Amino acid sequence: MANAKNTSESKRQSSLLRVTLASLAGTTLEFYDHFIYGTAAALVFPTIFFSQVSTELALLLSLVTYGIAFVARPLGAVIFGHFGDRFSRKNMLVLALLMMGGATFLIGCLPAYGTAGLWGAVGLCLLRLLQGLALGGEWGGAALMVNEFAAGSKMRAFLGSMVQLASPIGFLIASGVFALINAILPPEDFMAWGWRVPFLASGLLVAIGFYVRRSIDESPEFLANKPVLQQRKSIPIIDICRNHWQTLLLAIGSRIGSDIAFYVFALFLLVYLPFIGMDKQIALNASIAASIGQAVGIPVFGYLADKFSTRSVIACGALANMAWGFIFFMLVEMREPAIIVLSAFIALFLLAAMWAPLAAHMPAMFPVHVRFTGAGLGFQTAGIFGGALAPSICLYLIHQYNSTLPVSIYLGASLALAMVCVMMTKPSTACATEST
């Protein structure tokens, strides 16, 4: 009897480890695909796909294609969530991976404007739409799979934080690949064909990711409820709008602050530093340092969320980021490269206190029959009102008031909202623990 119990526990731990690693690997690949598109949209696509218009308009059109994904991600969360809540968590994760990787690979095959005219740009928009749909389905599925396998575990938040670790890892890999190719190739070769290499490489990476994800088991909590879930007549998104809309709003509010903080601390620097006369390379170095800080902080705060609670760690993180939002720009305006890089590292390390526990916190807010849809939709909708609008709002505030103080106030208000929403949430599922 004891041997059978030990064997069962060993099998459960093995499945939990495989699911965690598969979620980390797959989500890293999806964020890699997302970030290489963002890099190419700024550096390459204006020349390749929009060469028929002025330089300024070409850049604007290229960035508009980047923004398509922000609109598509909530829709992806609803579509993938519907089938994930009714039929299979695992299969939806595999499909999201294949869709994202396939779209990224095909972007690397698109003809330039000089070859196909506007059709290249049309193809770019359609493939970016597919990327957004896939990324919308990815996060919710990966987060809840780890949570449902880790139900009752004392390491639930730490294991969930591995899903969050995918974002900085994906950013660092994407930045490194582009920087390496740019350093090796002459500028004309990079623009002619070198930019395609990171996109085409996604084909190989997705094959590896597919093998890893195909080998994991279906969620045990989903399997236990599957007969009931498949007999339910209600559509998950309609169920959420009718019965769980308050929870959805709290989920959205819980994430908005951290999303805005990420864009202020990491990406807004790429615009603000050149605006005050600093070299772009300093901004790039600061962004890389910020991602390293986030990657270091995520497992630390994931561990602390298990020791205390996800709510308390996120709330403390919000307070710390409010304070740092004012200190950060004071240090940046000293215009010392080393201080700027260190400030960005500290900023994203502190932000990890809000980011790391989210993968354990948000799925626990929703019951099993709408969990995929609810967690994914809350996370992705916050991206529209948070990250998608933050760069434009920050630029407006800087130009309107010629000061960073309004940006710090804007950031502080969003973090206060996040803290209030987090403290109002209550765990409602078996995957939640009292520490939530």
What SS3 string covers the chain? CHHHHHHHHHHHHHHHHHHHHHHHHHHHHHHHHHHHHHHHHHHCHHHHHCCCCCHHHHHHHHHHHHHHHHHHHHHHHHHHHHHHHHCCHHHHHHHHHHHHHHHHHHHCCCCCHHHHCHHHHHHHHHHHHHHHHHHHHHHHHHHHHHHHHCCCCCCHHHHHHHHHHHHHHHHHHHHHHHHHHHHHCCHHHHHHHHCHHHHHHHHHHHHHHHHHHHCCCCCHHHHHHHHHHHHCCCCHHHHHHHHCHHHHHHHHHHHHHHHHHHHHHHHHHHHHHHHCCCCHHHHHHHHHHHHHHHHHHHHHHHHHHHHCCHHHHHHHHHHHHHHHHHHHHHHHCCCCHHHHHHHHHHHHHHHHHHHCCHHHHCHHHCCHHHHHHHHHHHHHHHHHHHHHCHHHHHHHHHHHHCCCHHHHHHHHHHHHHHHHHHHHCCCCCCCCCCCC
Note whether residue 118 is domain-resident. Answer: yes
CA-closest candidate to residue 190, choices 47, 51, 58: 47
Tokens of 323: 């304070």
Note whether residue 436 is domain-resident. Answer: no
Asked if 227 and 331 sit in the same domain, the reply is: no
Note whether residue 389 is domain-resident. Answer: yes
CA 168 to CA 349: how far, in whole Å? 11
Asked if 221 and 286 sit in the same domain, the reply is: no
Asked if 170 and 104 sit in the same domain, the reply is: yes
Tokens of 241: 């709008």
Asked if 316 and 283 sit in the same domain, the reply is: yes
Q: What would the pLDDT profile of 411-428 be if each residue is shown by its tens digit? A: 999 999 999 999 998 765
Burial class for 43, CB neighbours closer than 10 Å (0-12, 13-18, 19+) = middle
Query: What are the phi and psi torsion angles at 185 (to 5°)?
Result: -95, 145
Asked if 8 and 100 sit in the same domain, the reply is: yes
More confident residue, 55 or 188: 188
What SS3 string covers 212-256? HHHCCCCCHHHHHHHHHHHHCCCCHHHHHHHHCHHHHHHHHHHHH
Asked if 213 and 360 sit in the same domain, the reply is: no
How much is the mean pLDDT over the chain? 88
Q: Which domain holds residue 52?
A: 1-231
Asked if 175 and 315 sit in the same domain, the reply is: no
Note whether residue 424 is domain-resident. Answer: yes
CA 142 to CA 165: how far, in whole Å? 12
Report whether 72 contacts 129 (CB < 8 A): yes
Q: Evaluate if residue 142 carries a pLDDT over 50.
A: yes
pLDDT at site 224: 85
Asked if 223 and 252 sit in the same domain, the reply is: no
Phi-psi sector, 240: left (phi>0), alpha (psi -120 to 50), beta: alpha
**Based on the structure, what is the number of domains in the chain?**
2
The rounded Cα 340 to chain-centroid distance in angstroms is 24
Report whether 253 contacts 421 (CB < 8 A): yes
Domain boundary among 190, 207, 231: 231
Tokens of 215: 């080998």
Note whether residue 176 is domain-resident. Answer: yes
Q: Which of 215-229, 233-247, 320-334, 405-419 has the least mean pLDDT? A: 215-229
Asked if 242 and 371 sit in the same domain, the reply is: yes
pLDDT at site 215: 83
Note whether residue 8 is domain-resident. Answer: yes
CA-closest candidate to residue 30, choices 239, 210, 190: 210
Domain boundary among 210, 231, 252: 231
pLDDT at site 5: 54
Stretch 150-172: mean pLDDT: 90
Q: What percent of the chain has pLDDT over 90?
A: 51
Highest mean pLDDT among 142-151, 297-306, 366-375: 297-306
Stretch 375-401: mean pLDDT: 87
Task: Quote the crossing angle between the two packed helices 196-214 and 156-184, to the nearest 10°.
Answer: 150
Radius of gyration in angstroms for the set of CA atoms belonging to the chain, rounded to a whole number: 21
CA 421 to CA 174: how far, in whole Å? 33
Tokens of 139: 């996060």
Q: Evaluate if residue 327 carries a pLDDT over 50.
A: yes
Domain boundary among 202, 231, 260: 231
Q: Evaluate if residue 183 carries a pLDDT over 90.
A: no
Asked if 62 and 155 sit in the same domain, the reply is: yes
The b/e string for 307-346 (b: 16+ C-beta within 10 A; e otherwise) is: eebbbbbbbbbbebbbebbeebbebbeeeebeebbebbbb
Report whether 362 contacts 436 (CB < 8 A): no
Report whether 287 contacts 179 (CB < 8 A): no
Note whether residue 201 is domain-resident. Answer: yes
Q: Evaluate if residue 258 carries a pLDDT over 70.
A: yes
Asked if 189 and 238 sit in the same domain, the reply is: no
pLDDT at site 4: 52
Q: Evaluate if residue 430 carries a pLDDT over 50.
A: no
Asked if 129 and 271 sit in the same domain, the reply is: no
CA-closest candidate to residue 119, choices 172, 177, 50: 50
Report whether 61 contacts 106 (CB < 8 A): no
Query: Could you tell me the CATH number of the domain that includes residue 62?
Result: 1.20.1250.20
Q: What would the pLDDT profile of 90-115 be if each residue is shown by its tens digit? A: 999 999 999 999 999 999 999 998 88
Note whether residue 330 is domain-resident. Answer: yes
